[in-house]
Amino acid sequence: MSTVGGAISGAIRGVRPIASGRNGEHRPGALAFLILLWFALAVAFGVLVTLVVTIIIEGQGQFTLRLFTEFPASSPDRAGARPAILGSIWVIGTTAVMTIPLGVAAAVHLEEFADKKHWFNRLVELNVQNLAAVPSIVYGLLALAFLTMMGVRDKNIVIAGALALSLLILPVIIIATREALRAVPAEIRQGSLALGATPWQTVWRQTLPSSIPGIATGAILALSRAFGEAAPLLVLGALVFVSFDPNGLLSGYTTLPIQIFNWTGRPQEGFHQLAAATSVLLLVVLVAMNGVAILIRNRFQKRW
């Protein structure tokens, strides 16, 4: 921790200590190690900057209003991402409505009501951790098999995509909500119970309201992950030519990541530029979502 370094340098500034450790810090080996560490961080950020700069340069010719207003077309000069934008909004909106209540409910059960020593609850807990590490494409296969079993012929519908993404981010939301609930001190609950509130009243009026910032942060981060996800939707056949606005849960759709994938695979350079421009759009949306999440975390999160 830096507090050690701070303590040492503070001691140097004051009374001269018996052993400063100063020479040790300036040994060639130690300096080389520090340089290596900075290099590691610099490479990570360097790649991030390179990625952003290259896609901006590549896509700059296609940053026009057409991207928002036009439908995909066979010629890059007439194509836009309008149905993909609307499709992303439909799918993510549906995912949010489906997942957030379920995830919060499961987390409340595990954190507030469940007997943690009971084998079933321990199984649920272990299972949630495992689900968070399952590859996203497997959730696509799950949704595909489920829809096939239900006899759904056309799987490229908004509700199907939202189902796959919901299952994907459910563990993430459960884990984030549990952390937020855990941060609420036990005294709040005990005070509420002591005043005669029932356990559910305690959860609904005290614990949950106190943990809303943490839940919101986790939920937004999870949704931003779903927003950029393409693999499960690909399995469900979302890679289609959509020349209409998606208008309901049973409507066909395509999303921004799928549209980028589609355009990346075309041979014409113009489509690659469109893919780059759409990537910039996607990144802007995701950075905005992350920014909101971090803002909520820093602004509203209570510290007890």
Residues 251-270 that bind another protein (CB under 8 A): 257-258, 260-261, 264-265
Q: Tell me which of 9, 10, 12, 27 binds another protein, using CB under 8 A.
A: 27
CA 285 to CA 227: how far, in whole Å? 9
Does 134 interact with another protein (rule: CB under 8 A)?
yes
Instruction: Check residue 288 for interaction with another protein (CB under 8 A).
Output: no
> Binding of another protein at residue 29 (CB under 8 A)?
yes
Binding another protein by CB under 8 A: which of 127, 243, 247, 268? 127
Q: Is 271 in the site for another protein (CB under 8 A)?
A: no
Which residues inside 54-113 make contact with another protein, applying CB under 8 A? 54-55, 58, 102-103, 105-106, 108-110, 112-113
Residue 250, interface with another protein (CB under 8 A)? no
Task: Please state at what angle helix 208-228 crosses helix 82-108, rounded to 10 degrees.
Answer: 140
DSSP notation for 237-284 = T--S---S---STTS----HHHHHHHHHTSSSHHHHHHHHHHHHHHHH
160 counts as binding another protein under rule CB under 8 A? no
Site for another protein in 221-240 (CB under 8 A): 221-222, 224-225, 227-231, 234-237, 239
Tell me the closest approach of the beta carbon of residue 248 to another protein, in angstroms. Answer: 24
Radius of gyration of the chain (CA): 25
Angle of helix 28-59 versus helix 269-300 axis, rounded to 10: 120
Burial group, residue 197, by CB count within 10 angstroms (0-12, 13-18, 19+): middle
Q: How far is the CB of 78 from another protein (least distance, A)?
A: 21
The first and second tokens of residue 89, run together, are 């909004």
| Of 60, 62, 66, 94, nearest in space to 82 by CA | 66
Segment interacting with another protein, rule: CB under 8 A, options 31-39, 61-69, 72-80, 83-91: 31-39
